[in-house]
Structure 1
Amino acid sequence: MTEKHDKFRELAENRTNRAMDSIRRIGNLSNRHLYEWDDAEIRKILKALKDAVAEVERKFAAPKVSREKSFKL
């Protein structure tokens, strides 16, 4: 593998594991014995998480834009 690919894999694994840990911690907030919340708050949290994932998907799905655009009339 190339050096860029190795770096990508290293960062992707670390960042994904941290994100998953954070999501699990958000799930811990569901304990009604320790916390109080209403459905509207939960909907906001879930929408924010879904929007963030959708943004990541959009970035990876976007076609690669050529940096060398030429001008023509």
Structure 2
Amino acid sequence: MGADESRHERFQRVAEARTNKIIDMLRLLGNCSNRTNYEYSEDEVQQIFEALEQEMEEARSRFVFSGENGPRFSLRSRR
């Protein structure tokens, strides 16, 4: 980090690089779908994507400001 790089500029630089790494890895994971080279079950695919979705949700929740509360629980709001 340069001396004149702001915290926002640092965030942009680091987040962009990390996001691109994740995208690259997802594309590599997609290569595993080639049934000529790999054998897998639908259950295994489901497990992979459930794990990825859980990690995405956990990462997203870390961006919620600590001063903000999520929605309150209410049985009336469920239909």
Q: TM-score, normalised by structure 1?
A: 0.80
Question: Does 2:30 correspond to 1:36?
Answer: no
Unpaired stretches in structure 1, ≥5 consecutive residues: 66-73
The question of 1:63 aligning with 2:74 is answered no
Instruction: Determine the structure 2 residue equivalent to 1:9.
Output: 12
Aligned residue-pair number: 64
What secondary structure sits across from 2:62 in the alignment? helix
2:56, 2:37 → 1: CA distance?
A: 28
Structural RMSD (CA): 1.6
Q: Which runs of 4+ in 1 moved over 2 A?
A: 62-65
Q: Relative CO higher for 1 or 2, CA cutoff 8 Å, sep ≥ 6? A: 2
% identical aligned pairs: 34
Higher share of residues assigned helix: 1
CA distance in 1, matches of 2:40, 2:65: 37
Give the AA of the match of 1:42: V
Gaps of 5+ in 2: 69-79
